[in-house]
Amino acid sequence: MSNVKYSKDHEWLKIEGDTAWVGITTYARHALGDLVFLELPEVGRQVAKGDDFAVVESVKAASEIYTPVTGEIVEVNETLQDDLDGLKEDIDTGWIVKVKMSNDNEAADLMDKAAYDTFVESLD
Do the bridges between strand 71-76 and strand 97-101 make them parallel or antiparallel, or are there none, so unpaired?
Answer: antiparallel
What's the residue count for the chain? 124
Average pLDDT of the chain, as a whole number = 92
Q: What is the pTM of this model?
A: 0.92
Q: Tell me the C-alpha distance between 68 and 53, whole Å.
A: 10
Please determine, looking at this structure, whether the domain spanning 4-116 carries the CATH number 1.10.3720.10: no
- Rg of the chain, C-alpha, whole Å: 13
pLDDT confidence band for 1 (50 / 70 / 90): very low
pLDDT confidence band for 89 (50 / 70 / 90): low
Judged against a pLDDT cut of 50, whether residue 57 lies above it is answered with yes
pLDDT confidence band for 97 (50 / 70 / 90): very high
Q: Are 100 and 71 in contact (CB under 8 A)?
A: yes
Q: Tell me the C-alpha distance between 8 and 116, whole Å.
A: 8
